[in-house]
Amino acid sequence: MWDPAVDDPWEPGAAVPLSKRALEELRHRVAAVAAVPLRDRTLLATGDRNGVVMLWDPATGAPVGDGLPPDGPGSSLTAMAVTTLPGRGTVLLTGSKQGRSLRVWEPETGTVQHIDLDVAVTCLAAAGSEVIVGHDCGVFGLSLTM
């Protein structure tokens, strides 16, 4: 992970070493990254091809919490977005091609909601409660009114 205060990534000290746990989990091959602004700090989220989502403290490089396990067997994560829902706070959205679903995870509470889709998700974008889902046949929008 890089220290955002350092302009030159080759400068000594620019990289924050990952924790021993992170280094041991080399199977977490990142497919998507997002900044997750919370009330007291901003974390980084990484999603991998196995569908696992991890939160990281960018100041220390250490994982935060246990993360979000895969949605099911073969549910490779292909897209991730972050938004703030009115009255609920920050949510992390993940999509997959094989799982054909959208997961809505509230990192501060651990709550996960699943939205079944009939398409393979290829990309996501969100603003407030509005979500744009790119998929194998086009694009559509939905509103997160939970």
- Rounded to whole angstroms, the Cα distance separating 77 from 83 reads 18
pLDDT tens per residue across span 10-58: 555 555 555 556 545 546 678 889 999 998 999 999 998 888 899 999 9
Question: How many structural domains are present in the chain?
Answer: 1
**Looking at the domain assignment, is residue 43 inside a domain?**
yes
pLDDT at 23: 47
Q: Evaluate whether 80 touches 94 at the Cβ level (below 8 Å).
A: yes
Are the CB atoms for 52 and 68 separated by under 8 Å?
A: yes
pTM of the model: 0.78
Q: What percent of the chain has pLDDT over 90?
A: 48
Which residues have a Cβ under 8 Å from the Cβ of 68 and sit 6 or more positions away?
52, 53, 54, 92, 94, 103, 105, 112
CATH number for the domain that contains residue 106: 2.130.10.10
Q: Tell me whether residue 97 is in a domain.
A: yes
For residue 85, how many other CB atoms are within 10 A of its CB?
Answer: 16
Q: Tell me which residue range forms the domain holding 122.
A: 20-143
Instruction: Examine residue 14 and state whether it is found in any structural domain, yes or no.
Output: no
For residue 132, being part of any structural domain is answered with yes
Grouping H, G, I as helix, E, B as strand and the rest as coil, residue 24 is helix
Q: Please, what is the average pLDDT of the chain?
A: 83
Q: Are strands 77-85 and 63-68 parallel, antiparallel or unpaired?
A: unpaired
